[in-house]
């Protein structure tokens, strides 16, 4: 099959759109719109319905327009870091859209920086929109509040260059509409955060609305036709040599670059067994009969490890090779047996093919490889299951080896499950999740406290995309960093279930270093008092529970009213201080 | 009198040179110490007793040494931004020392960035110490967790360049002891934050301990003798021309560069009247009989404005000319009548004299100007007072015009009073504070939520420096950003009084823009439940109150047990949503 016609057609379409845009551009002024509403209109076109952030005097005029907007709601976070986390969580669950966080000059934007850097690291499309002093003030550079006192008005933008792929300053001399479009396109096609400053006097500035008639295309660069054709030939040849003994390994970028449908087609057409990395977990449904579980290098469950590493060829899709995602770089897969498909390149064994991205390659690869179905479908795959272990001697202590399989039974199709960096990220790993369930975690960046803000954004996105319940697992140490973000959850009537693992400190740190050190302990708050403290004047219902025994845990998880998740609920799960999931102790052990 | 460098400055220079010589002559290895303990020893020498921060896997080995250290305590904050705020508050109150915040690579350090930038802006000496991957990892640059996924290990340092005056990377090839010393000296002499990375494998690396025998000198550069002599001549001449009709205006840098004693000598020797800017308030005792109150440009109280602006010569010391510190740049003082003394330069009318800093200039200036005492002491100064207004018709509503004069009566000598950006910063402005009281606020940087973290650090410093009570005034909107920092206050047995102004939202924003906008409202938490939620398992006592009427406020402020501040106490002060101090409404009005 030739790859040529499709690409040619695409190239033609691109040329046509470019020309049309150019024409529109010259007819500037036919229909006008304010800069702020141009941005908001584009965001609506891209599916944005929520804007996260904190008001500050340089963004207030813009927030008037957000508050009055009929399709975008202002969420109003308790602080900017949490707002950035929420925008990240929203983008992760919404998937075909982006997250937006609005802050104010200096103080607000710098508070959000860790959240933005996390979105960069983990490839999440987030727009960081910053209200800044007027263009006049930026020229005169007085020592305004929120400045460094030395007239350096560009310091924050310079810092943000490290953590965003594009920094756009909107001002009167610039081609504002085009800049906004280019910035948003960069964000959504490259799945990375972008940074845009909106001066106070630009909010109501009028620009042409003509470009808005043509929607922004969320398409990656078009593959080079001849290279792509060559790549398809070589992969087909390698698979033939391997006699169809191929396994597929799905990773984070399958989700980030939205090739889940393409991967599912490939899997069903070829019958190749499939495994996921920690960051690729739930990229495909874990109930799929040819799915064999999670591969984490040397700390993989033995039979899964054997199946993956003994395959003649491993086709890795969307690989993200970080330490915690690979069992500390312990893959036992020779490069000779490895093919990697990425968003903008392909690797076959030792050869790199730039400009061949997976989005367009995958459907063609499916056509090429479906001939192997008969052989491939005979490759054995162990069913991916977990069992709740029997209590020894009636032990009622809730330990990780019991807790995770038990909550595994509680999950329902389409649940959104958010796990915090720490015991939760590792505990969930080998638990099969139901159809349509989505696991959201931050394994590469690993900023503690992220999951709480992220859960807020995820809960909005879940509601909008027809997902089921939102279930958060967070350690009490991590919760302390971002606890105030429970407040907007209550205000907006979101109904997540929040499992707070109370095990007397930063357990993941204890397993890395300082098991008995005081610095790894945290204060033991009245966890079940939090929802009441934040929400008792809100008029919104909430409920909190403590479970200290397996029987109490069972009773709660079996309670239909609890499982229906009609109100926000917090469960304090009391666990021993020095108990951890096996995957965590093994990972920590490797590091030592 | 001949202009010689002061003996203190000379002694400092001698020490510095001795240190250099000593290092040159000492054989490496005569006496050895680990890098971590070298840092800790230097910090102890500089008066540091507390280290703020959050554990993370790249700083844990270092924290072992902190936890085991006999003179430095690990505080353990709930998140890194709050920790940076606490280090800032500690440095502000401790004054002859510095604040230290320890974070981990990437996630931790970026969360602290807004706090560090605030310390830069407001000139507060803070060391940001970051635990980073080993020197080996930094060469190989694997995709570790907490990295951006693209091998850029220097991204965080590059960002920090914008907000710190020195960035030091400790590694095996560097002259580690000298680097540490230079970094700390830069921090304390220039009163700005510095950034230092400590790789995991450098913590226990041995270096020579010889340099530790010579203390680091906290002295500014020595003034150029001839320029200084000329400056003294010119100032004396100008004062003579003005017939001694001079007023002195003290500002932030009098506190930051520790010239309070020198300024007091000048005041008492000359008898010149003295006024403070908002950021200079409490730089000199407000009970001083020649002190006339606060000058804020056009929004100054009329009589004070007249006194300041009609003087023939204004001697400004430590000026920091930001918008909120100057009534939005509304000084009515012609440059012809203005002399400015700064940390490293002097301005006389239009002339700039580089290299003449105030620390050494002031004692000599006092000698030159004491001849004017007879005339100067006749210049009238209005007493700086405030009165609690009588309730009209028995109105019980707690409004700002009543609240601030009333709490003014509650203050005691040596209280440390912390006010949040918002109504509190403006409300306290025209309230006279007792002898030895210290006002801590962040008028230039103005990051909401700062005061809560800062109060934690201030409370430690107050205890160590023999101050009295620590009293925080924070709006409920600002408290939401950093609320978890009440938890370490409780854990460490600190006993601040926390006034939470509950007025249904971000009142300062409402006066700037969006008076009736929803985005300026915040959730109404159960404020009096916070200390219990965070502290009920701590074994530490706490007490919370709500006051909604003037009578209730009176009763509480008159309650001796409350005033004794023997436990942490939180007071929810219910105030109307759209009431604000006059100084705030006037400032906001100017901006419109």
Three-class secondary structure assignment of A484-542? HHHHHHHHCCCCCEEEEEECCCCHHHHHHCCCCCHHHCCCCCCHHHHHHHHHCCCCCCE
Cα of B110 to nearest chain A Cα, Å? 5
User: B86-130 pLDDT, tens per residue?
Assistant: 999 999 999 889 999 999 999 999 999 999 999 999 999 999 999
Beta pairing partners, A53: A102
- Is A355 in the same domain as A418? no
Domain end call among B213, B235, B253:
B213
Q: Where are the alpha helices (DSSP H) in B348-399?
A: 358-369, 373-376
Q: What is the dihedral of CA B84, B85, B88, B93, to 10 degrees?
A: -140
Q: Quickly state the pLDDT bin for A5 (edges 50, 70, 90).
A: very low
Does B157 touch chain A if contact means CB atoms closer than 8 Å? no
By CB neighbour count within 10 A (0-12 exposed, 13-18 middle, 19+ buried), where does A449 fall? buried
- Distance CA(B53)–CA(B103), nearest Å, equals 6
- Calculate the average pLDDT of chain A: 94
User: A21-35 pLDDT, tens per residue?
Assistant: 666 665 555 789 999
- Distance CA(A560)–CA(B501), nearest Å, equals 42
A409-to-A99, A405, A471, A512, B80 alpha-carbon distances in Å: 32, 7, 13, 30, 37
Does B51 touch chain A if contact means CB atoms closer than 8 Å? no
Which residue in the set A110, A449, A519 is minimally distant from B117, CB to CB?
Answer: A110
Neighbour-count burial for A193-210, b at 16+ CB within 10 Å, e otherwise: bbbbbbbbbbbebebbbb
Q: Looking at residues B140-151, what average pLDDT do you find?
A: 94
- Is A141 in the same domain as A277? no
Provide the pLDDT for residue A1: 41
Annotated binding site of A for Mg(2+): 503, 505
Q: Which of residues 289-328 of A touch B (CB under 8 A)?
A: 320-324
In this structure, of A12-16, A70-74, B71-75, the range with the lowest mean pLDDT score is A12-16
Contact flag B525-A537 (C-beta cutoff 8 Å): yes
- Distance CA(A187)–CA(A195), nearest Å, equals 9
SS3 A217: coil
Task: Give the best residue of A519, A535, A568 to mutate against chain B (max B CB count within 10 A).
Answer: A519
Residue A3 has pLDDT above 60, yes or no: no
Percent of chain B with pLDDT strictly greater than 70: 97
For tokens 């009490």, what's the residue? Answer: A476
Residue B591 has pLDDT above 90, yes or no: no
Q: Quickly state the pLDDT bin for A549 (edges 50, 70, 90).
A: very high
Does A60 touch chain B if contact means CB atoms closer than 8 Å? yes
Residue B75 lies in a domain: yes
Residue A142 has pLDDT above 70, yes or no: yes
Residue B385 lies in a domain: no
SS3 B132: strand
A:B CB pairs within 8 Å:
269
Provide the pLDDT for residue A547: 98
Contact flag A445-B107 (C-beta cutoff 8 Å): yes
User: B154-176 pLDDT, tens per residue?
Assistant: 999 999 999 999 999 999 888 99
SS3 B493: coil
Q: Which residues, other chains included, contact B520 with Cβ-Cβ below 8 Å and sequence gap of 6+?
A: A55, A60, B505, B506, B509, B510, B514
Q: Which of residues 348-367 of A touch B (CB under 8 A)?
A: none
- Is B236 in the same domain as B209? no
- Is A359 in the same domain as A499? no
Residue A554 has pLDDT above 90, yes or no: yes
The separation between CA B125 and the C-alpha centre of its own chain, rounded to angstroms, equals 9
Q: Going by DSSP bridges, is the β-strand pair A99-104/A32-34 parallel, antiparallel, or unpaired?
A: unpaired
Which residues in chain B are closer than 8 Å to A146, comparing Cβ atoms? 445-447
Percent of chain A with pLDDT strictly greater than 70: 95
- Distance CA(B551)–CA(B454), nearest Å, equals 31
Does B107 touch chain A if contact means CB atoms closer than 8 Å? yes
The separation between CA B394 and the C-alpha centre of its own chain, rounded to angstroms, equals 40
- Is A371 in the same domain as A405? no
The strands making up A542-547's β-sheet, listed across from edge to edge, are: A438-440, A416-419, A470-475, A497-502, A568-574, A542-547
Provide the pLDDT for residue A491: 98
Q: Please check whether residue A102 is in contact with residue A58, taking contact to mean a CB–CB distance below 8 angstroms.
A: no
Neighbour-count burial for B272-302, b at 16+ CB within 10 Å, e otherwise: bbbbbbbbbbbbbbbebebbbbbbbbbbbbe
For tokens 């939470």, what's the residue? Answer: B500
SS3 B298: strand
Which residues in chain B are closer than 8 Å to A490, comparing Cβ atoms? 523
- Distance CA(A520)–CA(B63), nearest Å, equals 10
Which residues in chain A are closer than 8 Å to B118, comparing Cβ atoms? 107
Residue B394 has pLDDT above 70, yes or no: yes
Quick one: which of B144, B122, B115, B141 has its CA closest to B53?
B115
Domain end call among B169, B184, B213:
B213
Task: Give the best residue of A277, A525, A539 to mutate against chain B (max B CB count within 10 A).
Answer: A525
Q: Looking at residues A85-103, what average pLDDT do you find?
A: 97
Residue A402 lies in a domain: yes
DSSP of A157-190: HHHHTTT-S-EEE--TTS-HHHHHHHHHHHHHHH
Q: Please check whether residue B411 is in contact with residue B437, taking contact to mean a CB–CB distance below 8 angstroms.
A: yes
Does B114 touch chain A if contact means CB atoms closer than 8 Å? yes
Q: Quickly state the pLDDT bin for B24 (edges 50, 70, 90).
A: low
Residue A448 lies in a domain: yes
Residue B236 has pLDDT above 60, yes or no: yes
Does A520 touch chain B if contact means CB atoms closer than 8 Å? yes
Residue B220 lies in a domain: no
Residue B29 has pLDDT above 80, yes or no: no
Residue B537 has pLDDT above 90, yes or no: yes
SS3 B126: strand
Q: Which residues, other chains included, contact B255 with Cβ-Cβ below 8 Å and sequence gap of 6+?
A: B92, B95, B280, B283, B318
Cα of A523 to nearest chain B Cα, Å? 7
Q: Looking at residues B527-548, what average pLDDT do you find?
A: 97
Residue B417 has pLDDT above 60, yes or no: yes
- Is B274 in the same domain as B196? no
Which residues in chain B are closer than 8 Å to A532, comparing Cβ atoms? 526, 529
User: B472-499 pLDDT, tens per residue?
Assistant: 999 999 999 999 999 999 999 999 999 9
Task: Give the best residue of B420, B534, B542, B590 to mutate against chain A (max A CB count within 10 A).
Answer: B534
Residue B11 has pLDDT above 90, yes or no: no
- Calculate the average pLDDT of chain B: 94
Quick one: which of B471, B484, B406, B464 has its CA closest to B437?
B471
- Distance CA(B591)–CA(A527), nearest Å, equals 44
The two three-digit tokens of residue A273, written as one number: 């067994």
Q: Which residues, other chains included, contact A419 with Cβ-Cβ below 8 Å and sequence gap of 6+?
A: A425, A427, A428, A439, A440, A441, A451, A472, A473
B391 vs B190 pLDDT, higher one = B190
- Is B266 in the same domain as B350? yes
In this structure, of A13-27, A133-147, A161-175, B157-171, the range with the lowest mean pLDDT score is A13-27
- Is B468 in the same domain as B371? no
Quick one: which of B112, B114, B98, B109 has its CA closest to B48?
B98
Which residues in chain A are closer than 8 Å to B520, comparing Cβ atoms? 55, 60
- CB count, 10 Å around CB of A398? 22
CA-based torsion, B63, B67, B69, B72: positive or negative = positive
Residue A171 lies in a domain: yes
Q: Which residues, other chains included, contact A549 with Cβ-Cβ below 8 Å and sequence gap of 6+?
A: A396, A397, A398
Provide the pLDDT for residue B191: 95
Does A477 touch chain B if contact means CB atoms closer than 8 Å? no
Provide the pLDDT for residue B18: 78
Q: Please check whether residue A72 is in contact with residue A66, taking contact to mean a CB–CB distance below 8 angstroms.
A: yes
For tokens 């290990």, what's the residue? Answer: B153
B124: CATH = 3.40.50.970
Contacts 24+ apart (CB under 8 A), B508-511: B508/B421, B508/B422, B508/B423, B508/B426, B508/B475, B508/B580, B508/B584, B508/B588, B509/A55, B509/A56, B509/A57, B509/A60, B510/B577, B510/B578, B511/B580, B511/B584, B511/B585, B511/B588
By CB neighbour count within 10 A (0-12 exposed, 13-18 middle, 19+ buried), where does A454 fall? buried
Does A445 touch chain B if contact means CB atoms closer than 8 Å? yes
Domain end call among A191, A213, A235:
A213
For tokens 């025209």, what's the residue? Answer: B430
B10 vs B585 pLDDT, higher one = B585
Does B106 touch chain A if contact means CB atoms closer than 8 Å? yes
A407 vs B18 pLDDT, higher one = A407
- Is A201 in the same domain as A230? no
pTM score, whole prediction: 0.95
Task: Give the best residue of B448, B522, B588 to mutate against chain A (max A CB count within 10 A).
Answer: B448
Residue B156 region by backbone torsions, left for phi larger than 0, else alpha for psi between -120 and 50, else beta: alpha
Does A344 touch chain B if contact means CB atoms closer than 8 Å? no
Q: Quickly state the pLDDT bin for B28 (edges 50, 70, 90).
A: low
Contact flag A447-B107 (C-beta cutoff 8 Å): yes
Provide the pLDDT for residue A9: 60
Q: How many domains does chain A have?
A: 3
Residue A146 region by backbone torsions, left for phi larger than 0, else alpha for psi between -120 and 50, else beta: left
Q: Looking at residues B75-85, what average pLDDT do you find?
A: 98
Q: Quickly state the pLDDT bin for A4 (edges 50, 70, 90).
A: low
Q: Which residues, other chains included, contact A173 with Cβ-Cβ below 8 Å and sequence gap of 6+?
A: none
Q: Which residues, other chains included, contact A23 with Cβ-Cβ below 8 Å and sequence gap of 6+?
A: none
- Distance CA(B200)–CA(B196), nearest Å, equals 13
Contact flag A74-B482 (C-beta cutoff 8 Å): no
Catalogue the E-assigned strands of B230-366. 246-250, 274-276, 291-294, 313-317, 338-341, 345-348, 351-354
- Distance CA(A279)–CA(A442), nearest Å, equals 8
- Is A524 in the same domain as A587? yes
Task: Give the best residue of A72, A80, A481 to mutate against chain B (max B CB count within 10 A).
Answer: A481
Residue B44 lies in a domain: yes
Contact flag A117-B110 (C-beta cutoff 8 Å): yes
Provide the pLDDT for residue A12: 62
Task: Give the best residue of B67, B75, B146 to mutate against chain A (max A CB count within 10 A).
Answer: B146
Does B152 touch chain A if contact means CB atoms closer than 8 Å? yes
Q: Quickly state the pLDDT bin for A590 (edges 50, 70, 90).
A: low
The two three-digit tokens of residue B149, written as one number: 């996924």
Which residue in the set B321, B443, B517 is minimally distant from A63, CB to CB?
Answer: B517
User: A268-317 pLDDT, tens per residue?
Assistant: 999 999 999 999 999 999 999 999 999 999 999 999 999 999 999 999 99
Q: Please check whether residue A220 is in contact with residue A344, taking contact to mean a CB–CB distance below 8 angstroms.
A: yes
Residue A218 lies in a domain: no
- Is A451 in the same domain as A570? yes
Provide the pLDDT for residue B589: 76
Which residues in chain B are closer than 8 Å to A487, comparing Cβ atoms? 480, 523, 525
- Is B371 in the same domain as B428? no
Q: Quickly state the pLDDT bin for B592 (edges 50, 70, 90).
A: very low
SS3 B261: helix
Residue B1 has pLDDT above 50, yes or no: no
B441 vs B322 pLDDT, higher one = B441
B264: CATH = 3.40.50.1220
Range of the domain at A491: 392-591
Provide the pLDDT for residue B15: 80
Provide the pLDDT for residue B393: 84
B329 vs B228 pLDDT, higher one = B228
Residue A592 has pLDDT above 50, yes or no: no
Cα end-to-end distance, chain A, whole Å = 51
Contact flag B322-A533 (C-beta cutoff 8 Å): no
Element (H, E) at B130: strand B126-132
Does A64 touch chain B if contact means CB atoms closer than 8 Å? yes
Which residues in chain B are closer than 8 Å to A522, comparing Cβ atoms? 76
B505 in a known ligand binding site: yes
Contact flag B162-A162 (C-beta cutoff 8 Å): no
The strands making up A351-354's β-sheet, listed across from edge to edge, are: A291-294, A274-276, A246-250, A313-317, A338-341, A345-348, A351-354
Residue B446 region by backbone torsions, left for phi larger than 0, else alpha for psi between -120 and 50, else beta: left
Does B482 touch chain A if contact means CB atoms closer than 8 Å? yes
A109: closest chain B residue by CA: B114
Which residue in the set B57, B145, B522 is minimally distant from A513, CB to CB?
Answer: B57
Contact flag B61-A487 (C-beta cutoff 8 Å): no
């Amino acid at each position: 099959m030739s790859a040529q016609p499709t690409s040619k057609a695409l190239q033609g379409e691109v040329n046509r759109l470019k020309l049309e845009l150019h024409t529109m551009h010259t007819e500037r002024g036919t229909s006008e719109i304010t800069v702020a509403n141009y941005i908001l209109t584009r965001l609506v076109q891209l599916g944005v319905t929520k804007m996260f952030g904190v008001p500050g005097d340089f963004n207030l005029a813009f927030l008037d327009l957000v508050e009055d907007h009929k399709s975008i709601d202002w969420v109003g976070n308790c602080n900017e870091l949490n707002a950035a986390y929420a925008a990240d969580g929203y983008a992760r669950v919404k998937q075909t859209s982006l997250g937006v966080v609005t802050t104010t000059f200096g103080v607000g934007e710098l508070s959000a920086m860790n959240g933005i850097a996390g979105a960069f690291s983990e490839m999440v499309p987030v727009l960081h929109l910053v209200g800044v002093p007027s263009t006049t003030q930026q020229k005169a550079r007085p020592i305004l509040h929120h400045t460094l006192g030395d007239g350096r008005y560009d310091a924050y933008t310079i810092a943000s260059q490290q953590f965003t792929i594009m920094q756009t300053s909107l001002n009167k001399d610039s081609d504002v509409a085009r800049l906004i479009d280019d910035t948003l396109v960069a964000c959504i096609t490259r799945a990375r955060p972008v940074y845009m400053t909106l001066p106070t006097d630009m909010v109501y500035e009028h620009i042409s609305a003509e470009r808005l008639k043509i929607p922004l295309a969320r398409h990656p660069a078009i593959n080079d036709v001849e290279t792509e054709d060559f790549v398809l030939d070589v992969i087909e040849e390698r698979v033939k040599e391997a006699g169809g003994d191929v396994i597929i390994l799905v990773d984070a970028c399958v989700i980030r670059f939205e090739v889940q449908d393409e991967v599912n087609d490939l899997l069903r057409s070829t019958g190749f067994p499939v495994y996921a990395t920690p960051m690729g977990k739930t990229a495909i449904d874990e109930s799929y009969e040819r799915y064999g579980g999670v591969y984490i290098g040397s700390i993989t469950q033995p039979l899964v490890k054997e199946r993956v590493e003994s395959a003649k060829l491993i086709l890795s899709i969307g690989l993200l090779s970080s330490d915690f995602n690979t069992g500390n770089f312990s893959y036992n897969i020779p490069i000779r047996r490895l093919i990697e498909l990425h968003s903008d390149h392909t690797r076959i064994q030792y050869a790199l093919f730039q400009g061949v991205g997976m989005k367009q390659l995958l459907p063609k690869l499916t056509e090429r490889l479906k001939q192997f179905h008969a052989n491939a479908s005979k490759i054995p795959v162990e069913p991916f299951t977990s069992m709740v272990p029997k209590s020894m001697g009636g032990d009622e202590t809730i330990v990780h080896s019991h807790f995770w399989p038990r909550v595994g039974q509680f999950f329902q199709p389409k649940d959104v499950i958010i796990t915090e960096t720490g015991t939760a990220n590792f505990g969930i790993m080998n638990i099969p999740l139901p159809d349509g369930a989505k696991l959201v975690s931050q394994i590469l960046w690993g900023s503690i406290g992220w999951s709480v803000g992220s859960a807020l954004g995820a809960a909005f996105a879940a509601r909008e995309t027809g997902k089921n319940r939102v279930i958060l697992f967070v350690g009490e140490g991590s919760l302390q960093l971002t606890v105030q973000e429970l407040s907007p959850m209550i205000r907006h009537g979101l109904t997540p279930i929040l499992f707070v693992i109370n095990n007397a400190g930063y357990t993941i740190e204890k397993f890395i270093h300082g098991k008995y050190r005081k610095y790894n302990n945290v204060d033991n708050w009245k966890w079940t008092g939090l929802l009441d403290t934040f929400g008792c004047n809100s008029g919104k219902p909430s409920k909190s529970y403590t479970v200290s025994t397996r029987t109490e845990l069972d009773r709660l998880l079996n309670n239909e009213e609890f499982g229906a998740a009609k109100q926000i609920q917090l469960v304090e799960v009391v666990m021993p201080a020095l108990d951890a999931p096996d995957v965590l102790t093994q990972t920590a052990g490797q590091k030592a």
